[in-house]
Every structure is written in C-alpha cells, then in structure tokens.
Amino acid sequence: MAELEVIQPNNPNLRKKAEPVRQLTPEIQTLINDMIETMRAANGVGLAAPQVNRSLRLAVIETPPEVDEEGNEIEGTRNLYVVLNPEITWKSRKIVDGVEGCLSIPGYLGEVSRHEAIRVRGMDRNGRNFNLRLKDWDARIFQHEIDHLDGILYIDRLTDPDNFWTEEEFQALFGEEAEEQEAFAAD
C-alpha cells in the first residue's frame, strides 16, 4: 500500500464530475487500499477518488468512533465503508448546520448545511449492492464525499462566506466546542 497525493482546489480535476466504476479490477482494489491508507495517515474520516486525482465514483469513509466518559475511543465502534457509484436516494427534510473540513483544503474549516438523514445505495468493494440509512455525522460525511464525486467542495456550500475559518481562528472563536467539532471535521 502507498499514501497518495491529495490534490487541492487549484487542480481542475477536483471540480470535474467523476466517472462510474465499471469493473472491479486489481487496480481498483489497490486504489481502494491506498485511499484507506491515505485517509488514515491524514486523520481523515473520508476520501473520494477525485481528491487523489482519479476520476472515479469511489470513496472510502471511516466513521468517527464512539467515546467513553473520559473521551477515550471505544474499540470497534468505527465503521469503514468503501462505496462505489454511490447515489443518495432519499434526503430528510430537516437540515442541520455543522462544521466540516477537507483533506483537499488543509488548515481550514467551514459551516455547511446538510440533510440530517439520508439513504444511499451503491456497491461495495466486493461488488455487492448495498442500501444504507444514515443520520447525523455519518450522513454528513457521506454527503460531503458524494459531493466530491460531483466536483463540489464544501466551500461551495458554506452557510455564509463569513463562516469559513482557519483551524486557529476556529479554535480561538469556539474554544472547547471547537475541539469536539474538529474530531469530525477532516475529510
């Protein structure tokens, strides 16, 4: 496995709609493994193929862990998803604001409105179709990654242009609340 270079908004490929994955080849499996390694090395919770300069409708997502009363990660509470050709089939009416970051826009955070709950269908890395019902942070992460597959960045969906901060500004403005938010902000 190898860590891949994560491209930034100055690369036009990040803004293109990705192509469907048509076959599960050994090269795709290698790409999936490399994307998982890259996401974890960057402490992210998601990574879409366009972020590593591959125009494919493919994303890897690892949900945030549950924590105990002392704030320690509870083993076995993270879920790893490999999603190919994902499609949102339903969105809740309720919209919630939350803070997001992105591995392609390092050092910044922004407030984005997203559907509180969604349903997603797609295919896993073994070629099996799936249907997921997601809510809260899991739904937010999936929406963020699926946006990448359509050439959309979270900065395109800011609640207000003023709701975009450096990590340092965010920490200074929101203090302790910022630490809780940052745990889930990196894609």
| 145 catalytically annotated | yes
- 76 half-sphere exposure, CB direction, 13 A CA radius: 0
Nearest to 110 by CA among 42, 54, 26, 186: 186
Partners of 129 in the β-ladder: 123
Which of 145, 177, 179, 182 is an active site residue?
A: 145
Distance CA 79, CA 63 (A): 5
Distance CA 124, CA 82 (A): 6
Distance CA 78, CA 40 (A): 12
Residue 178's contacts (CB-CB under 8 Å, 6 or more residues apart) are 170, 171
What residues are labeled active site? 145
